[in-house]
Amino acid sequence: MVVLPSTRTKLMPASELIAKTATEIVALLKAGEVTTFDLLDALEVRIAEVEPAVNALPTLCFERARDRAKSLAGKPMTERGVLAGMPVAIKDLLNVAGVRSTQGSPIFADTVPDTSDVAVTTLEAAGGVVYAKSNTPEFGAGANTFNEVFGATLNPWDTSRSCAGSSGGSAVALASGTAWLASGSDLGGSLRNPASFCGIVGFRPTPGRVAHGPGALPFGSMSVEGPMARTVADCALMLDAMTGQSPVDPMSLERPAQSFVSSTASGRKPKRVAFSLDLGGITPVDPEVATIVERAARRFEEIGCVVEEASPDFSDVQQIFQTLRAMAFAASKKDLLVRHRDQLKPEVIWNIEKGLALSTEEVAAAELARGRLYHRVRAFYETYDLVLSPATIAPPYPIEQRYLEECNGHRFSKYIEWCTVAYAFTCAALPAISVPAGFTAGGLPVGLQIAGPPRGEAAVLSAAALFEQVAPWAHTLPVDPRVPRG
């Protein structure tokens, strides 16, 4: 039996708890004003209210969560980690021991792993309590969250619209109030696209900042795990809980001396920032998104920064990204293509086959080009502290579309090409965040992308926090799902 602190006041209604930020919830946990059990109860109420309309959290594990909460309750508060018992949703690409982990694929529809990914165990060691798995497209491919196991996840701002992907379930859970914190992963924008489409915060950190695995490609530097939340401070809190070196991940970095939460409170202003809508002409941009993002970027002048139109040279990013991404798919998924081709969606098959068709010369050329790109971009940051751009180039598109097929008169040649504005920074191995920038005339969210220098998470977070302070739309969540009439 768990004994509640004697100082605890009358429990808040579930709706009041759901409306609070993760930072506020952790403070309540540490003060003994609420327990993890109270939070899990509130989440169950909210999930019952909104989940049928959005399909963000198809797998729930509340019994496991309450067992974890009992274990934490038996420890002194000083030993409960930075999250102190905060419930966390985990993207369905990460294994959670004892919980159905499908990767969004019918091939793994009934898989229940015995062990958790190190990213999960790190969060749990920091006081996180896993209660749900969030929906994702098959193997994270497609930039739109639907699969043959659980179906589509719908955008709560308009349930006829996509929530993007691949961390769409996490973004929708945060926006609709069934999560305070949620994990995501990002290769081609899988954290930042859903954050933009759903009006939340999604942060792609430096490769190695968040240890994950064991995986088939432990030395890969394209795909990373990262935090998703409703506010910048909450995102920093989760990043603090996710960081740390692990022998499971040979790329993982030591935990920095300064917490990321302290970075958001530092008030440190960038002196000179670059702004580009199309990153030097490599992508089209929807006109309404362009207007919203440019207005948001100019808010940095109010903060006291010099804002100049400029961009690193990303002219060869398509060759780099498409080649290296396909190579990774071929290396890690070839056996699935051989044994389960009939169960794979077309986008996954296309990626694997493209990778298998690559020549040694093509792979070598892409690796060399990526090296040159990195050094060009690194030199650019000797002049500018940050780069501002759209997080996505268009508002949320109809859910029936598998991906964004065209934008501003340009028809994309590949299904993933519409994410260029995000994966340009992936290729440069830079930290980048999507923060809410405003809304379209139809009430759909648009995100501003803030990209920092190599290993510059602190600079990104401090700037994002300052921007959030002057952004009037930063505290509009959670939103009740909006189902269009007719």
pLDDT in tens, 280-300: 999 999 999 999 999 999 999
Q: What is the mean pLDDT of residues 407-417?
A: 95
Q: Tell me the pLDDT tens digit for each residue of 245-282.
A: 999 999 999 999 999 999 999 999 999 999 999 999 99
Buried-exposed string 64-96: b where 16+ CB fall within 10 A, e elsewhere: bbbebbeebbeeeeeebbbbbbbbbbbbbbbbb
- Residues annotated catalytic, as ranges: 91, 166, 190
Q: What residue type is 82 in one-letter code? A: V
Q: Residue 255: its pLDDT value, please?
A: 95
pLDDT at position 476: 85
For residues 394 and 9, give the distance between their C-alpha atoms in angstroms, rounded to a whole number: 46
pLDDT band per the 50, 70, 90 thresholds, residue 2: very low
Spatial contact of 101 and 108, defined as CB atoms under 8 Å apart: yes
Q: What is the pTM of this model?
A: 0.97
Q: Is there a contact between 405 and 162 (Cβ–Cβ < 8 Å)?
A: no
Residue with tokens 């090296």: 371
Give residue-wise pLDDT tens across range 29-74: 999 999 999 999 999 999 999 999 999 999 999 999 999 999 999 9
**Interacting residues of 386 by C-beta distance below 8 A, sequence separation 6+:** 270, 273, 274, 450, 451, 452, 459, 460, 463
Q: How far apart are CA 321 and CA 46, in angstroms?
A: 39
Q: In the sheet that 432-439 helps form, which strands lie side by side, from edge to edge?
A: 59-60, 129-134, 87-91, 181-186, 224-229, 201-204, 432-439, 445-451, 386-390, 272-275, 306-309
Q: What is the pLDDT of residue 471?
A: 86
pLDDT tens column, 227-248: 999 999 999 999 999 999 999 9
pLDDT tens digits, residue range 359-369? 999 999 999 99
Domain residue ranges in the chain: 14-470
Which of helix, strand or coil describes residue 6?
coil
- Distance, in Å, from the CA atom of 356 to the CA atom of 83, rounded to the nearest integer, reads 43
CA distances (Å), origin 180, targets 19, 173, 183, 208: 9, 8, 11, 24
Query: Is the model's pLDDT at 191 over the cut of 80?
Result: yes
With a cut of 70, say whether residue 160 has pLDDT above it.
Answer: yes
Residue positions counted in the chain: 486
Tens of pLDDT, residue by residue over 298-321, are: 999 999 999 999 999 999 999 999
For the 14-470 domain, the top CATH level (class) is alpha beta
| CA dist., res. 43 & res. 297, Å (int) | 35
